[in-house]
């Protein structure tokens, strides 16, 4: 199993280690000849060509060039039709994000404890001041760096989720928790949202989110220049917390406005169709269809 691990744990990526041992425990091993690519924007062009890459719902994020799909790739489905297009696949391969299969390993229900909660992107938690901004807006904050079980408990305990973290919305939609999307502060993350939404026929309504710290704003301004982004991020963390008062007030106002938006959910028929099709692919995966195709 391959998944992204950055400097901070991230709920969407760590879902791989939580979900797949529950659904396909007998398939996961340490065989270096096969890579399982499940949840995340992990379709890179840097994988060893000698290794079999089994794609089960992963997406293309544009962090590298799109991989060329030769016989070392076996694709069950990808995150959405935009990923399918980038990889030269038919649109039908863009079934959806495989985190949707949390419906097949549903965590236990919990009583509702929070009227509304905010789920920021992990980078926003590192470079912003979102605990203070969420508190000022009267919202509970769910930290995507917490363990998966803790994040799920807080999500299920919330009546509505305001999500900058895409997998906050994906899991909320799968578990039928109404959600409100906010435009990611780092616009490079926006295309992923539409890739997933297109797979469910969703027309996203994204509320505006304002930066909660001057460092977040600085990162926005240089986000297309990776060298400058690294320099600004490193230097800015040395001054963490200074001069953030006005930014926190502005961010809290944008959060409060977002919380007034009408929540979204995909249709029951769409989520059930996608789930049933994914479960069919899961049975094919368990039967080793990808391995038989190489014989």
- What pTM was computed for the model? 0.92
C-alpha distances (whole Å) from 23 to each of 57, 165, 176, 213, 289 are: 14, 24, 20, 40, 17
C-alpha–C-alpha distance, residues 141 and 181, integer Å: 15
Tell me phi and psi for residue 256, to 5 degrees.
-60, -40
Burial 20-43 (b: 16+ CB within 10 A, else e): beebbeebeeeeeebbbbbbbbbb
C-alpha–C-alpha distance, residues 212 and 234, integer Å: 18
How would you write the pLDDT of the chain (295 residues) with one tens digit per residue? 999 988 889 999 999 999 999 999 999 998 989 999 999 999 999 999 999 999 999 999 988 999 999 999 999 999 999 999 999 999 999 999 999 999 999 888 999 999 999 999 999 998 899 999 999 999 999 999 999 999 999 999 999 999 999 999 999 999 999 999 999 998 888 999 999 999 999 999 999 999 998 788 877 777 666 676 665 655 555 555 555 788 899 999 999 999 999 999 999 999 999 999 999 999 999 998 887 765 4
Q: What angle do CA 147, 141, 162 make, to 5 degrees?
A: 105
C-alpha distances (whole Å) from 196 to each of 16, 58, 82, 290 are: 17, 10, 8, 24
Q: What is the three-state SS of 214-269?
A: HHHHHHHHCCCCHHHHHHHHHHHHCCCCCCCHHHHHHHHHHHHHHHCCCCECCCHH
């Amino acid at each position: 199993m391959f998944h992204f691990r950055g400097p901070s744990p991230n709920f969407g990526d760590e879902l791989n280690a939580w979900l797949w041992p529950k659904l396909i425990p007998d398939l996961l091993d340490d065989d270096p000849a096969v890579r399982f690519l499940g949840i995340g924007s992990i379709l890179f062009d840097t994988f060893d060509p000698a290794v079999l890459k089994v794609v089960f719902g992963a997406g293309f994020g544009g962090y590298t060039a799109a991989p060329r799909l030769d016989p070392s790739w076996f694709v069950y489905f990808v995150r959405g039709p935009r990923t399918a297009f980038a990889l030269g696949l038919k649109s039908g391969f863009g079934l959806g994000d495989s985190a949707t299969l949390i419906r097949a390993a549903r965590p236990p229900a919990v009583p509702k404890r929070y009227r509304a909660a905010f789920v920021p992107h992990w980078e926003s938690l590192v470079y912003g001041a979102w605990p203070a901004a969420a508190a000022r807006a009267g919202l509970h904050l769910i930290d995507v760096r917490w363990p998966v079980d803790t994040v799920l408990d807080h999500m299920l305990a919330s009546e509505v989720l305001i999500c900058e973290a895409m997998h906050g919305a994906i899991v909320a939609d799968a578990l039928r928790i109404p959600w409100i999307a906010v435009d990611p502060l780092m616009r490079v993350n926006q295309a992923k949202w539409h890739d997933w939404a297109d797979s469910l026929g969703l027309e996203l309504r994204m509320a505006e989110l304002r930066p909660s710290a001057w460092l977040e704003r600085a990162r926005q301004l240089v986000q297309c220049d990776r060298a400058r982004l690294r320099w600004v991020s490193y230097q800015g963390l040395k001054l963490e917390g200074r001069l953030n008062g006005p930014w926190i007030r502005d961010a809290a106002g944008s959060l409060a406005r977002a919380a007034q938006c009408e929540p979204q959910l995909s249709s029951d028929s769409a989520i059930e169709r996608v789930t049933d099709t994914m479960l069919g692919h899961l049975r094919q995966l368990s039967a080793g269809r990808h391995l038989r195709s190489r014989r």
